[in-house]
Amino acid sequence: MPAYHFVCGSCQAQRTRICAPEESKIPVLCRLCTGVMDRAPSAPTSQVVEVLDNGLMGRVLQRPADAERIHYEHVHHHEGLKHS
C-alpha cells in the first residue's frame, strides 16, 4: 500500500499514513489541533523504498524507508485512543 502525506491546514503539522488508495480520500484529523489535514501533493517517485534481500529469500521485499517510524506512529496513536 502506498504512503500518503498530509498537512494540517491550521497548524501545518505533517503526518504520513500507509493506506489503500480509497482510504486516502477519508478526512484525516490533526493530532495536535484536531483541524482537517489535506493530502500533500507528492510525486510517485518521491517515496524512498528500501530493498530487503538476505540472499536466501525467494524474492526481495520492498518497503518504505521510514516504515518503522510510520508503524510506530500508527500503533501509539491507536494506543492513545484506547486509553481516552
11 — pLDDT class (breaks 50, 70, 90): very high
Read off the pLDDT of residues 41-60 as tens digits, 9 standing for 90 and up.
765 555 677 777 777 877 77
As a whole number of angstroms, the distance between CA 28 and CA 5 comes to 11
Q: Which three cell numbers stand for residue 59?
A: 524474492
**pLDDT over 70 at 16, yes or no:** yes
CA dihedral 62→68→42→48, nearest 10 degrees, is -40
Percent of the chain with pLDDT over 90: 5
Q: Which ranges constitute the DSSP H helices of the chain?
A: 67-83
Average pLDDT over residues 1-24: 84
Given this model, what pLDDT does residue 33 score?
A: 92
**pLDDT over 80 at 84, yes or no:** no
